[in-house]
């Protein structure tokens, strides 16, 4: 672990396993509440100095991190593939996106502006400044183990906060590789700290209950997010929560069904469906259902499943056996309630695939609201298709969920596009676009998909407090 500028050992370790074949990728230190408190202490002691540094100093260090990440893009991507499973091409893309987030925050650090407000009194002035919140704790998930780290740490550091990170227990090596870069970039001791742990509970409890931690950022399941919010409530601790999603993907009758199927295929099976913005409910107008299904089925038939380090593989493993069992249970429930299996629908365990956690890319038709897959996030390579007849009907069905992270719509009608953008109750909406995200754009959801935003100007504001000064000048 990395605490107060030093690599430390605890005497206990745990292994990180490759989900493609079960091999040991590496070993990391197994920490707990004691190490979490040590890291918080280091961050608290470093806060005054870091907050007092200039935006240009913070920006220069983040720019150095960006450069080092680009220099190490290939080894970082290979480690990501071994530890998390996604194909190497996708891993390289994640490293690039993670570096972009760092660079954006390096630039945005110099744009944390204040303002003056006119006063009703001639001898009075109002000045508003933005100040760093304090020590920020972050808990990151396994599905994007490099980009999620930079999306939390980069804005915190740019704002002048010090930070403590607890990465997902399934992918700690990716976080450790990034902290080697932070160390080499020259961050002062205590500004960034890493606590790895097999059991996240004790570390999370420290983050929630230690009053020196002024901000907690978490990406993960809605259930865990609610638990953390409850634990932080007694202190009214600042929270950013990026939680579950249940994205609708809507294809209207005026859309090009082949183009829509191409977009759906790229998005649905990215990271083997283990993406919070992955389409979970695919609504297709009856008039274009047949060509859409044919085009999607043809694309799915070309997907190659296997170890992400092998050439030509575009669908890697699920993260563990429990993930496979969850996907299989949803598929079996749908089939038992009348869904039609068009493709896939099985665990892949023959030959070398039997050493990992693989599930066939699956296409289901005839989905209805009584099925679990209509209500629950899948986090797997399953495309459930529902037919619809009119705009009002599909908008109501799309919004019929407790989640509100991302939504997608394919249409050539400008008026309809605007109506859907304004009517869909989701934090991010892609209109003929499967990637409405970027370092410069706010990322986050509404309803039970979370609180706050990452990325863009809003991402740094999450780590800043507003302070107003009233000055009587005579």
462 is catalytic: no
Give, as one character, the DSSP assignment of residue 401.
S
Is the same domain home to 219 and 279?
A: no
Assess contact for 380 and 321: CB atoms under 8 A: no
Residue 44 lies in a domain: yes
Burial class (CB in 10 A: 0-12, 13-18, 19+), 265: buried
Is the same domain home to 355 and 376?
A: yes
Q: Phi then psi for 365, rounded to 5 degrees?
A: -115, 165
Distances, alpha carbon 434 to alpha carbons 24, 110, 377, in Å: 35, 31, 18
Is the same domain home to 152 and 231?
A: yes
Is the same domain home to 426 and 319?
A: yes
The count of structural domains within the chain is: 2
pLDDT (0 to 100) of residue 474: 82
Percent of the chain that is helix, strand, coil (3-state, to 5): 45, 25, 35
Show the tokens assigned to 147.
């980009």
Is the same domain home to 257 and 389?
A: yes
Residue 75 lies in a domain: yes
Burial class (CB in 10 A: 0-12, 13-18, 19+), 398: buried
Show the tokens assigned to 73.
């893009």
Residue 437 lies in a domain: no
Assess contact for 98 and 66: CB atoms under 8 A: no
Residue 410 lies in a domain: yes
Is the same domain home to 96 and 138?
A: yes
The CATH number of residue 145's host domain is 3.40.605.10
Is the same domain home to 393 and 265?
A: yes
174 is catalytic: no
pTM, two decimal places: 0.96
Distances, alpha carbon 332 to alpha carbons 71, 346, 353, in Å: 46, 10, 21
Partners of 157 in the beta sheet?
A: none
Residue 262 lies in a domain: yes
Assess contact for 397 and 418: CB atoms under 8 A: no
Centre a 10 Å sphere on the Cβ of residue 234 and count the other Cβ atoms it contains. 10
Kindly provide the b/e burial profile for residues 163-202, where b requires at least 16 CB atoms within 10 angstroms of the residue's own CB. bbbbbbbbbbbbbbbbbebbbebebebbbbbbbbbeebeb
Alpha carbon 293 to its chain centroid, in Å, reads 29
Is the same domain home to 311 and 175?
A: no
Residues in Cβ contact with 162 at an 8 Å cutoff, skipping those fewer than 6 apart? 43, 44, 46, 47, 50, 134, 135, 136, 156, 190, 191, 192, 193
Is the same domain home to 236 and 297?
A: no
Q: Phi then psi for 280, rounded to 5 degrees?
A: -110, -25
Residue tagged 């009584």 (tokens): 370
Name the residue range of residue 304's domain: 247-402+406-431
Integer Cα distance of 186 and 182 in angstroms: 7
Is the same domain home to 40 and 180?
A: yes
Residue 382 lies in a domain: yes
The CATH number of residue 380's host domain is 3.40.309.10
Is the same domain home to 393 and 452?
A: no
Give, as one character, the DSSP assignment of residue 315.
B
Q: What is the DSSP string of 230-262?
A: HHHGGGT-EEEEE----EEEEE-TTS-HHHHHH
Give the pLDDT means over successive 10-residue stretches in the chain (474 positions).
97 97 97 98 98 98 98 98 98 98 97 96 96 98 98 98 98 98 98 98 98 98 96 97 97 98 98 97 98 98 97 96 97 98 97 96 96 96 97 97 98 98 98 96 97 96 97 92
Is the same domain home to 199 and 318?
A: no
Let me know the angle formed at the C-alpha of 413 by 411 and 418, rounded to the nearest 5 degrees: 90
Centre a 10 Å sphere on the Cβ of residue 456 and count the other Cβ atoms it contains. 18
Distances, alpha carbon 318 to alpha carbons 78, 85, 86, 197, 427, in Å: 17, 7, 9, 21, 26
Residue 164 lies in a domain: yes
Q: Which of 276, 391, 448, 454 is catalytic?
A: 276
Q: Which of 242, 253, 377, 454 is catalytic?
A: 242
Residue 85 lies in a domain: yes
Centre a 10 Å sphere on the Cβ of residue 412 and count the other Cβ atoms it contains. 12
Integer Cα distance of 289 and 294 in angstroms: 9
Integer Cα distance of 197 and 379 in angstroms: 24
Distances, alpha carbon 456 to alpha carbons 231, 423, 437, 444, in Å: 28, 23, 10, 11
């Amino acid at each position: 672990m990395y605490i107060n500028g030093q690599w430390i050992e605890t005497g206990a370790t745990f292994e990180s396993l490759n989900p493609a074949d079960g091999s040991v990728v590496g070993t990391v230190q197994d920490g707990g509440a004691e190490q979490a408190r040590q890291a918080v202490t280091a961050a608290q002691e470093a806060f005054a100095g870091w907050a007092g540094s200039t935006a240009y100093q913070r920006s220069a260090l983040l720019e150095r991190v960006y450069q080092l990440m680009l220099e190490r893009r290939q080894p970082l991507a290979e480690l990501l593939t071994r530890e998390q499973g996604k194909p190497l091409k996708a891993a390289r893309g994640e490293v690039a996106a993670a570096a972009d987030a760092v660079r954006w925050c390096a630039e945005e650090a110099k744009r944390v502006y204040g303002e003056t407000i006119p006063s009703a009194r001639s001898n009075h002035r109002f000045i508003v400044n933005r100040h760093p919140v304090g020590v920020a704790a972050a808990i990151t998930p396994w599905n994007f183990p490099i980009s999620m780290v930079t999306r939390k740490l980069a804005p915190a550091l740019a704002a002048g906060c010090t930070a403590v990170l607890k990465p997902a227990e399934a992918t700690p090596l990716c976080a450790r590789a990034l902290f080697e870069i932070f160390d080499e970039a020259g961050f002062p001791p205590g500004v960034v700290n890493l606590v790895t742990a097999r059991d996240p509970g004790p570390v999370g409890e420290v983050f929630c209950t230690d009053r020196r931690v002024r901000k907690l950022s978490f990406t993960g399941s809605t259930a865990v997010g609610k638990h953390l919010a409850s634990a932080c409530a007694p202190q009214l601790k600042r929270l950013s929560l990026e939680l579950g999603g249940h994205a609708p993907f809507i294809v209207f009758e005026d859309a090009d069904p082949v183009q829509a199927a191409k977009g759906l295929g790229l998005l649905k099976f990215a990271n083997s469906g283990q993406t919070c913005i992955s389409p979970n409910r695919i609504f297709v107008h009856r008039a274009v259902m047949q060509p859409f299904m044919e085009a999607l089925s043809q694309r799915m038939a070309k997907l190659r499943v296997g170890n992400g380090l092998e050439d030509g593989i575009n669908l890697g493993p699920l993260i563990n056996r429990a993930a496979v069992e969850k996907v299989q249970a949803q598929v079996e429930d749908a089939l038992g309630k009348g869904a039609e299996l068009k493709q896939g629908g099985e665990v892949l365990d023959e030959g070398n695939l039997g050493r990992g956690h693989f599930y066939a890319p699956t296409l289901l038709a005839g989905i209805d609201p009584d099925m679990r897959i209509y209500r629950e996030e899948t986090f797997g390579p399953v495309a459930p298709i529902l037919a619809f007849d009119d705009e009002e009907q599909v908008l109501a069905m799309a919004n019929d969920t407790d989640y509100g992270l991302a939504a997608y719509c394919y249409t050539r009608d400008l008026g309809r596009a605007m109506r859907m953008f304004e009517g869909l109750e989701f934090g991010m909406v892609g209109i003929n676009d499967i990637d409405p995200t970027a370092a410069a754009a706010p990322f986050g959801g509404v309803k039970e998909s979370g609180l706050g935003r990452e990325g863009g100007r809003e991402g740094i504001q999450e780590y800043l407090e507003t302070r107003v000064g009233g000055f009587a000048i005579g």
